[in-house]
């Protein structure tokens, strides 16, 4: 492995994007609709022949794929854990580098997954999985590394172990890396160790790191600003996720010792309300500013929770699915730009992973992803007629423009121009890659899709581009 010492940046890390636009402008119609949204639910299934073995969801991407962990039987009878990738229909096992364990971490829109795994020597190494192959992406001089997140450019963040001057035992250290083993120790607040938990598509990293008093502090790191202390509600604070506008969500203990969900943006950390109980934990946020996680109700029963942003209160996701279901949704762990959610709950009393898909009229678009101008972006969508021709138009102001090919249909966009034409897949989904010009940076655009098979218009997607 080629080691990059602290403070030395390869060209790989040099293309860091400028500060994000005001995230308050990034909240489009999806955020306002989230509080009233209804969902269908899909069971992720299980790889185990034992129906009592648990399945957990960790991450969902914009294709609707889910990454997580599955409990499996072991020859010793003790059981083991294997990460999985779910393509919307079936699970695929992510095999460890060597028997017997592979642990989930995260996944990007390409379906590339990261985590960590046992090796033939019994060590734990960061691993990278794609299309059925698990690769050792261990970084650092010692025997432990763990990858916790992967972004659109297949850059990783995680934690490894290393000896640090002034310490007699090895320390855990936060890092960013590529899949070839080039890595950067991003440092601490002056203490010995730290952990990296997530990164966005601008290569900004969140985690916790020790200060000079060896106390753990939550951080947001970038190559231009270094470590920024996120603060907290008075007690131990853990950031869980961040979006491309550097909004950070997580969990923090308040002065009473209760753990509460929070959102941090532009230097201000705000507690998110619970469903009426004493505990909350925010697990994920999308670029619309919609947050998911878990919290307790007035009876201290835990449920999957959605915070739609703005002044709207928390949503109990259990109430947003069909009431006759056998599911109990105890937590949500991921949300994509289409508003799909993954999480873990109980199905007939057994731990299972789920995907919630919004019930929409017509279709829904993700907007350009990652929404950064001057590079390739991908537009995702759902709710189309399978195999139908799709026309996507864009503009900069609300209005009315006649659509070609479907008489009587109008884009709800002034002077709408066709951005691209594509064909929906067998699941009625869309994924089209295109170049987003640099001149679009800082602009707010509107995109809308026309389903030529049904001659129906989808929702208007409002997006602030970086």
**pTM of the predicted protein model:** 0.93
Q: Which domain holds residue 389?
A: 364-464
pLDDT at position 394: 97
Cα of 262 vs its chain's centroid, Å: 16
* 26 pLDDT higher than 60: no
Question: What average pLDDT score do residues 15-35 get?
Answer: 54
Q: Which of 358, 374, 404 is the last residue of a domain?
A: 358
| pLDDT of 13 | 35
- Determine the pLDDT at residue 27: 53
Q: Is the pLDDT of residue 409 over 80?
A: yes
Find the CATH number of the domain harbouring 397.
2.20.130.20
Is residue 31 pLDDT above 70, yes or no?
no
Q: pLDDT confidence of 76, banded at 50, 70, 90?
A: low
DSSP result, 97-108: SSSS-EEEEEE-
pLDDT at residue 446 above 90? Answer: yes
Please state, for a pLDDT cut of 90, what percent of the chain lies above it.
86
Domains in the chain, number: 2
Q: In this predicted structure, what is the pLDDT of residue 7?
A: 32
pLDDT at 14 over 50: no
pLDDT at 12 over 70: no
Element at 457 (helix H, strand E): strand 456-457
Show Cβ contacts of residue 76 under 8 Å, excluding neighbours closer than 6 positions: none
Q: Are residues 195 and 230 in the same domain?
A: yes
Same domain, 339 and 382: no
Instruction: Please report which confidence band the pLDDT of residue 25 belongs to, taking 50, 70 and 90 as the band edges.
Output: low
b/e sequence 83-122, b meaning 16+ C-beta within 10 Å? bbbbeeeebbbbbbbbeebbbbbbbbbbbbbbbbbbbeee
For residue range 313-352, what is the model confidence (pLDDT) as tens digits? 899 999 999 998 899 999 999 999 999 999 999 999 999 9
Identify the bridge partners of residue 60 per DSSP, sorted by sequence position: 66
In a shared domain, residues 132 and 264: yes
Q: Is 306 in the same domain as 210?
A: yes
CATH code at position 100? 2.130.10.150
Cis peptide before 308 (omega within 30 of 0): no
Instruction: Tell me: do 256 and 382 sit in the same domain.
Output: no
359-364: average pLDDT: 94
- Asked whether the beta carbons of 205 and 199 are under 8 A apart, the reply is yes
List, for residues 429-438, the tens digit of each pLDDT value: 999 999 999 9
pLDDT of residue 324: 84
Tens digit of pLDDT for each residue in 215-238? 999 999 999 999 999 999 999 999
The 10s digit of each residue's pLDDT in 230-281 is 999 999 999 999 999 999 999 999 999 999 999 999 999 999 999 999 999 9
User: How far apart, in whole angstroms, are the C-alpha atoms of residue 464 and residue 466?
Assistant: 7
Is pLDDT above 50 for 298? yes
Please provide the average confidence, as pLDDT, over all residues in the chain.
Answer: 92
In this structure, the strands spanning 3-4 and 183-185 are: parallel
pLDDT in tens, 123-181: 999 999 999 999 999 999 999 999 999 999 999 999 999 999 999 999 999 999 987 77
Domain end point (choices 307, 325, 358): 358
Could you tell me the pLDDT band of residue 16, with boundaries at 50, 70 and 90?
very low
For residues 321 and 384, membership in a common domain is answered with no
Record the tokens describing residue 174, joined without a space: 């936060």
Q: Which tokens sit at 153? A: 């450019």
48 shares a domain with 84: yes
Q: Please tell me the predicted confidence (pLDDT) of residue 305.
A: 98
Where among 358, 389, 420 does a domain terminate? Answer: 358
Q: Is there a single domain that holds both residue 65 and residue 206?
A: yes
Could you tell me the pLDDT band of residue 3, with boundaries at 50, 70 and 90? very low
Q: Are residues 189 and 250 in the same domain?
A: yes
Q: 168 and 54, same structural domain?
A: yes
CA distance 463 to 24: 11
What pLDDT score does 86 carry? 98
Q: Do 343 and 375 belong together in one domain?
A: no
The pLDDT-based confidence of 19 (bands split at 50, 70, 90) is very low
Residues 354 and 391 in one domain: no
What is the dihedral sign for C-alpha 366, 367, 373, 377?
A: positive
Q: What is the rounded distance in angstroms from the CA atom of residue 86 to the CA atom of residue 60?
A: 9
């Amino acid at each position: 492995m080629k080691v990059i010492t602290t403070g030395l940046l390869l060209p790989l890390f040099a293309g860091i994007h400028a500060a994000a636009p005001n995230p308050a402008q990034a909240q489009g119609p999806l955020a306002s609709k989230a509080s009233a949204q209804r969902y269908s639910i899909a069971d992720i299934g299980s790889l185990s022949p034992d129906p009592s073995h648990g399945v957990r969801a960790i991450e969902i991407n914009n294709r609707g794929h889910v990454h997580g962990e599955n409990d499996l039987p072991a020859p010793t009878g003790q059981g083991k854990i294997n990460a999985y990738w779910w393509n919307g229909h079936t699970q695929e096992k992510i095999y460890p580098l060597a028997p017997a364990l592979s642990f989930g971490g995260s996944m990007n829109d390409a379906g590339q997954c990261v985590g960590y795994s046992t090796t033939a020597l019994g060590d734990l190494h960061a691993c990278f999985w794609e299309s059925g192959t698990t690769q050792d992406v261990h970084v650092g001089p010692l025997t432990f590394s763990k990858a916790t997140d992967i972004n659109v450019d297949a850059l990783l963040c995680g934690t490894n172990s290393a000896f640090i001057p002034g310490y007699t035992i090895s320390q855990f250290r936060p890092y960013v890396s590529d899949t070839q083993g080039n890595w950067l120790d991003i440092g601490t607040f002056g203490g010995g160790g730290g952990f990296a938990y997530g990164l966005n598509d601008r290569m900004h990293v969140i985690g916790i790191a020790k200060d000079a008093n060896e106390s753990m502090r939550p951080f947001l790191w970038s190559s231009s600003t270094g470590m920024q202390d996120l603060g907290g509600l008075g007690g131990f604070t853990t950031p869980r996720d961040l979006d491309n506008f550097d909004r950070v969500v997580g969990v923090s203990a308040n002065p009473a010792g209760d753990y509460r969900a929070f959102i941090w943006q532009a230097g201000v950390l705000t507690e998110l309300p619970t469903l009426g109980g004493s505990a909350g934990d925010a697990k994920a946020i999308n670029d619309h500013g919609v947050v998911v996680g878990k919290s307790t109700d007035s009876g201290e029963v835990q449920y999957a929770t959605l915070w739609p942003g703005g002044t709207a209160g928390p949503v109990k996701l259990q109430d947003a699915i069909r009431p006759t279901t056998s599911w109990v949704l105890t937590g949500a762990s991921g949300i994509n730009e289409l508003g799909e959610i993954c999480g873990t709950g109980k199905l007939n009393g057994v731990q299972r992973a789920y995907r919630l898909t919004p019930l929409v009229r017509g279709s829904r678009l993700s907007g350009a992803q990652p929404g950064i101008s001057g590079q390739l972006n991908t537009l995702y969508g759902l709710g189309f007629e399978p195999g139908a021709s799709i026309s996507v138009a864009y503009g900069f102001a609300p209005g009315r423009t006649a659509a070609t090919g479907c008489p009587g249909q109008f884009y709800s966009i002034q002077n709408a121009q066709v951005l691209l034409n594509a064909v929906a897949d067998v699941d009625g989904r869309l994924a089209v890659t295109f170049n987003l010009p640099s001149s679009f940076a800082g602009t707010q655009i509107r995109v809308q899709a026309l389903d030529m098979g049904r001659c129906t218009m989808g929702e208007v997607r409002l997006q602030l581009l970086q």
